[in-house]
Structure 1
Amino acid sequence: MLALNPHETALILIDLQNGILAPQRYPYSSDEILERCKILAEHFRQHGATVVGVNVGWSADQQDFPPGIVDTPTPKPALEEMEHWMTLAEGVVQPGDILITKRQWGAFTGTELDMQLRRRNIRNLVVAGIATNMGVESTLRHGWELGYHMLTIENACSSFSSELHQMAFQTIFPRLAQVLPNGDALSFR
């Protein structure tokens, strides 16, 4: 079991919001991920660790939507659905948690996440959420590049397919983070 100092540790919950939870996810359903992440968050709070809820969203006119010229562009939510689409699922964040809204896959670029963590002397980041190979992976990569001790929990992440999820956890994540099978492998000292 890995024991962390709760005062130097944050749980980063990626994209547990209405618009991203709605589609089917693999290898774990959105409902399973949401429930596991809520349990993790409560465990972190009970031990005095920081919880960060991260959502992705854009302005009402979507002028800040990623403009990249790519083969498979990110689908834009309908304007009339934007507020509901961006809203974090009930119970993900609680009073005292940090809420970060990002405009792209990763939670660091263009946000105040790094500043919020450093001012709290956070060194250990446990990243969980959806999608494994997009928001979770981008956040793990950037956090690792910034010098944080990165961790992730396999059964608290899910993706568009089981294959994408497994590829990330078997080949990419072990080079960026300590990979834990479940939240039971983590404790606080």
Structure 2
Amino acid sequence: MNGTALLVCDVQNDLVDPKGKVGAGGLAKIVAERNLLSNLKALIASVRGKGWPVVYVGLGYREDYQDVLSVAPRIAKARESKVAVRGEWGAEFHPDIAPQAGDIVFYKQWVNPFFGTPLLEWLRRNGVGSLLIAGTATNLVVESAARYADDAGFAVSVVEDCCASPNPAWHEFAVTQILPVFGKVISSKEIK
């Protein structure tokens, strides 16, 4: 199991687009300032060029949110705003980085992309031993993915310039203090 895959987490319209329900609150501005979409688009092209799999995991809720287990305050806000409702524009991956034929897509109703999805089994079945992780938010899905992937025995590399958080201080803390405990923090330019 030494293959590499790119895990693209929660880069969806409601989060990263200025018209999105979360994006309009400031995250889209941070995504733009960090050039996240263009950096991620280039990374995805590079990964596809190497023949490595690109795996997308995104939020996808029922309109009534009855499929959500968490009772955290962020879920109450998401439910009120109807963030990432399956079948709606907001739950779609941003068109700049959207999945293509051959990519794998999983949907979840929580932070951890491994919980309640077939992600782990798919990675193992396909010989993946090394994960590149990118997405929004750094301090939520990216950190959760890195923690779980490390526990499951994957070599983890978080692609810092392909991640963002609604608060830049959260991103900075995650990439300097938390994520190095679980793997490498790298730039997309380091992937050869």
Q: Normalising by structure 1, what TM-score? A: 0.86
Higher helix share: 2
Q: Which region of structure 1 is more displaced relative to structure 2, 22-31 or 142-151?
A: 22-31
Structure number with higher relative contact order (C-alpha < 8 Å, ≥ 6 residues apart): 1
In structure 1, what is the equivalent of residue 5 of structure 2? 10
Q: Identity of aligned pairs, percent?
A: 28
Distance 2:137 2:41 in 1: 16
Q: Output the amino acid matched with 1:54.
A: V
Aligned residues: 179
Structure 1 unaligned regions, length at least 5: none
In structure 1, what is the equivalent of residue 27 of structure 2? 25
Distance 1:80 1:117 in 2: 28
Deviations 1:139-182 (A, max 9, x none): 111111111000011111110111111100111011001111x2
How far apart are 1:81 and its partner, in Å? Answer: 7.3
Distance 1:80 1:163 in 2: 24
The alignment status of 1:59 with 2:62, answered yes or no, reads: yes
How far apart are 1:73 and its partner, in Å? Answer: 3.1
How far apart are 1:28 and its partner, in Å? Answer: 4.4
Q: Does the 8 Å contact 1:18/1:89 carry over to 2?
A: yes
Distance 2:55 2:139 in 1: 19
Q: Normalising by structure 2, what TM-score? A: 0.85
Q: Output the amino acid matched with 1:29.
A: V
**SS of structure 2 residue aligned to 1:45:** helix
Structure 2 unaligned regions, length at least 5: 18-22
Q: Does the 8 Å contact 2:83/2:90 carry over to 1?
A: no
Q: Which region of structure 1 is more displaced relative to structure 2, 11-20 or 78-87?
A: 78-87
